[in-house]
Structure 1
Amino acid sequence: MKKFEFTINGNKYEVNLKDVDENIAHIEVNGTDYSVEIHREIKKNKTPRLVRSEVRQKPGEGHIVKKGSTGGHQVLAPLPGSIFKMLVKEGDEVKKGDVLLIMEAMKMENNVMSEKEGIVKSVRVKVGDNVLQNDVLIELV
């Protein structure tokens, strides 16, 4: 969209040129939309103009279905690496800040700590497993 300012007979006009389609220009003058005809020779474009048909959605398509929370918390891998040592098992009670496991990443041992307190519902990895960033390692309840 191009903006122009015109002064005609002492009156100031702000003009936004929205679109030009062949010899019809769609403009906005001081907040009011107009379609104006341009008196010029219409040049034929050599490239074809693609016109796509309207996309029709199937019933139920495009609607987001919110899944209910399991009431738990997932501990995710902070970065890619491999599991070096497990310090908890299913049923263990953990507090915020407890080290749950140690993983090796970039030739360093990294402590993965609990962000919340709870009980370990499931352990999704074992020693030696390779994980990617944001993989679920442990679920807490």
Structure 2
Amino acid sequence: MLQVRTGPDQLWDIDYRSGGPITVNGQAFEWDLAVLGNGHYHILHNGKSYTAELVSVDYAAKTFVLNLNGQRLELQAKDRFDLLLDKLGMSNAATNKVNELKAPMPGLIVDIRVEPGQVVQKGDPLLVLEAMKMENILKAPGEGTVAAIKVALRDNVTKGQVLVLFS
């Protein structure tokens, strides 16, 4: 089960199981999805056609930016573990201090949005990593001060490579 938020008052409970039906807020959700490649999709739902483009993904923060028929949508997903931490009042337990940011996948650094000495909060954009022709905004996993940036613009990085150090 996922809980997906697209705005302050738009929240959906999505239940899915491998090979099973998808439900949204308890209602069956029927759709046809065609992968066009390079982060582009075609969707049919309730007799309507939609074009979707995956603009950016932050897997650590579970945030996604989509263009759906030209309209920008920012999605924040919470899985059952995130919801349990929220319920227990522990959702901010891992956001205190961080020591480093590592590359979640191999790619090319196309933008650096911070500099050493800069104080950042959880969710602040740090770098943009291009992977598989998609731009992924890498955000601060917690609060801290940027101690060093270990990559330069246009550097190719490997998965797990340290990109930013925090003090």
Q: State TM-score, norm by structure 2.
A: 0.41
Higher strand share: 2
Question: Which structure has the larger Rg over C-alpha atoms?
Answer: 1
